[in-house]
Structure 1
Amino acid sequence: MGVSTSRPDKGIALVTVDRPPVNALPVRDWFALADAVRAAGRDPEVRCVVLAAEGRGFNAGVDIKELQRDPGHDALVAVNRGCAEAFAAVYECEVPVVAAVGGFCLGGGIGLVGNADAIVAADDAVFGLPELDRGALGAATHLARLVPQHLMRALYYTSRTATAQELHAHGSVWKVVPRPGLLAAALELAAEIAAKDGTLIRLAKAAINGIDPVDVRRSYRFEQGFTFEANLSGVADRVRDGFGAPAPQEDA
């Protein structure tokens, strides 16, 4: 369990998250994920990274129970830093990152896929930020990379989700496939990318990041400042205490 890296094909690194029951990650796994993605990108033999997950869903965000066990703010500070590093690692990875998303992709999962270069999704995938229901804020930066501005705001304020088919219609999901074929479809896209010249694909990634109109690391850290404010004011604890940590729902 945790984060692992394998090499399913030439030029491809597969980084897999496996944290049952719902891939809600504790602090150590956010940092482990960041380290794994950065290490894969630094490997001169790798030309594309595929980010995937085992289990029912891709990612359910942070481990709320870990935050609730901490009487102070140490866990919050640590998980915010861990999330920031994991999201940045995907964005700053030296080679393109393809996210293979099945089931729920919530909270921190949006931070990961919003910073990926391409997304292949299963037909059961749903994407959303239930942050307001869980005493948190953040990752609007990344949701705004997946859907238009007004839809992002409506999804954020309501904590609703969007389907893979809806994101495909907006152009942010490359392909929607049946769940059993998800990894194969993601690896197929990764293989097409990995067939390019290794030096050139790294230059292309750096060039595309360089013309991005939004500094995603700075934007997300700005959002996190409001998460701290919510915690210091006590409103975050009040909302979290009313959140029973049920398994993520796969419907809006």
Structure 2
Amino acid sequence: MGIELQRGEIAEVILDFPPVNAVPAAGWHAIAEALAVAGSEPQTRAVVLAAEGRGFCAGVDIKEMQRTSGHEALLAANRGCAAAFAAVYDCPVPVIAAVQGFCLGGGVGLVGNADLVVASDDATFGLPEVDRGALGAATHLARLVPHQLMRTMVYTCRPVTAWELHRFGTVLEVTPPAGLRRAARRVAEEIAGKDPLVIRRAKESLNGIDPVDVKRSYRFEQGFTFELNLNGAGDRGRRRFLEDR
């Protein structure tokens, strides 16, 4: 349970936080560390970011926040998410996200910063942050869906399916769940067959021409989450979520 790093030419970073991959604050930092290690090893040519269980990621661990007094858990989660999302983006080699089931909140942050996305045919993507009294990861959702749809999803908390993202071109391939990891490794192997130096420079150059500074943009969003916690909206949203479960 936790974060597993499988080293190799195609490295795998695997989330495993039963029952729904709601990631605690320390888990986000562990994701960042695993990606940094994988990317730093000369033999690594691509990284597959995957998860065990019925869903890729349910976002932050709200129970952890509610059982921790003050703002320590919130601040730790904020910094952890920022570190994990940045580690996906800054990884020197391409990161392929393999998404099954639900991909919510922080899961969208990870996937939106990935270079390629492969998803199972049962995968859905959403930002329920407004219902939780929070904001964040619209920066990353905007890399997956058109602008007006991104706004609709933020305001209404409606999810979209893998097939919808495939139509937008932001999910490369949709596959039955049993073939998900295999499909992700297949495209990783295609990338691994290229000159590794050229691929690393390609990743660096593509990040350099991005029109949005994703790290600064996300930290800006997080400021509003902290404001909502100071005025009580965050706690109200988290309590409603836990009461409704």
Any idea what SS the aligned residue of 1:17 has?
Answer: strand
Question: SS at 1:56's partner residue?
Answer: coil
SS in 2 for 1:187: helix
What root-mean-square deviation, in Å, do the aligned CA atoms of Structure 1 and Structure 2 show? Answer: 1.0
1:20 is the counterpart of 2:21: no
Look up the match of 2:6.
6
In structure 1, C-alpha distance between the alignment counterparts of 2:64 and 2:243, rounded to whole Å = 11
In the TM superposition, residue 135 of structure 1 has moved relative to its aligned partner by: 1.7
Q: Provide structure 1 residue ranges, at least 5 long, that are not aligned to the other structure.
A: 248-252
Task: Answer whether contact 1:64 1:245 (CA < 8 A) is retained.
Answer: no
Number of the residue aligned with 2:92: 94
Aligned residue number for residue 250 of structure 1? none
Deviations 1:116-151 (A, max 9, x none): 000000000000000011121100000000000000
3-state SS, counterpart of residue 152 of structure 1: helix
SS in 2 for 1:55: coil
SS of alignment partner, residue 119 of structure 2? strand
Which of 114, 118, 121 matches 1:120? 118
3-state SS of 2:242 partner: coil
Secondary structure at the residue paired with 1:242?
helix
Q: Find the aligned partners of 1:40 and 1:199 in 2 and give their Cα distance.
A: 16
* Gap change, CA 1:109 and 1:12, over 3 Å in 2: same
Cα distance in 2, alignment partners of residues 6 and 75 from structure 1? 29
The offset of 1:71, in angstroms, is 1.8
Gaps of 5+ in 2: none
Shift of 1:245: 6.9
Deviation of 1:23 (Å)? 0.2
Q: Partner of 2:15: helix, strand, or coil?
A: strand
1:123-162 mapped onto 2 (5 Å cutoff): 123-162=121-160
Tell me the TM-score normalized by structure 1. 0.95
Tell me which of 170, 175, 178 is aligned to 1:177: 175
Instruction: Kindly report which structure 2 residues correspond to 1:32-111, keeping only aligned pairs within 5 A, or say none.
Output: 32-111=30-109
TM-score, normalisation: structure 2: 0.98
Q: Distance in 1 between matches of 2:97 and 2:159?
A: 18
Report SS of the residue matched to 1:217: helix
Q: Is the 8 A contact 1:4 1:15 kept in 2?
A: yes
Select 2:200's aligned residue among 181, 202, 214: 202
Equivalences, count? 245
Could you give the per-residue CA deviations for residues 15-62 of structure 1, whole angstroms, max 9, x where no partner exists? 101100000000111000000011101110001000000001000000
Instruction: For residue 58 of structure 1, give the secondary structure of its aligned residue in structure 2.
Output: coil
Residue identity in the other structure for 1:227: T
Amino acid at match of 1:18: D
> Displacement, 1:246?
6.5
* Whole-Å separation in 2 of the counterparts to 1:200 and 1:40: 18
Contact 1:128-1:160 at 8 Å conserved across structures: yes
